[in-house]
């Protein structure tokens, strides 16, 4: 089963993947047709498959909120937190929580 078929099977549209990755739909469409599929696309589809419907709604709401806020540069504190997580073997996305 291709990654595009997996996305369709769980009701995930290319526009939603583009929103999750902050990319264009064109980017997602092109990457889904290439072999091997890029890791960011694989991560988005795999994450969507693992989430429950309420978690999906919460994730999309958080993405909408993030799009409203202006992007800010990474602070020294955030960079240090990411580095600490990375060296401890913790996934870096934990550094952004809280």
With a cut of 50, say whether residue 94 has pLDDT above it: no
- Note whether 30 and 21 are within 8 A (CB): no
Query: What average pLDDT does range 69-73 have in this prediction?
Result: 55
CA 95 – CA 26 distance, rounded (Å): 30
> pTM score > 0.75 for this model?
no
List the chain domain ranges. Answer: 3-73
Query: What integer pLDDT is reported at residue 54 of this predicted model?
Result: 87
Query: What average pLDDT does range 50-69 have in this prediction?
Result: 77
Name, of 17-21, 25-29, 54-58, the range with top average pLDDT: 25-29
For 56, the token pair is: 């999906």
21-40: b (≥16 Cβ within 10 Å) or e: bebeeebbeebbeeeebbeb
Query: What integer pLDDT is reported at residue 72 of this predicted model?
Result: 55
């Amino acid at each position: 089963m291709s990654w595009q078929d997996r996305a369709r099977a769980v009701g995930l549209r290319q526009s939603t993947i583009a929103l999750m990755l902050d990319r264009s739909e064109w980017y997602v469409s092109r990457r889904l047709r290439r072999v091997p599929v890029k890791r960011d696309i694989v991560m988005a589809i795999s994450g969507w498959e693992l989430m429950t419907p309420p978690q999906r709604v919460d994730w999309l709401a958080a993405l909408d909120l993030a799009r409203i806020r202006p992007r800010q540069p990474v602070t020294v504190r955030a960079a240090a937190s990411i580095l600490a997580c990375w060296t401890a073997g913790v996934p870096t996305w934990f550094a952004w929580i809280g």
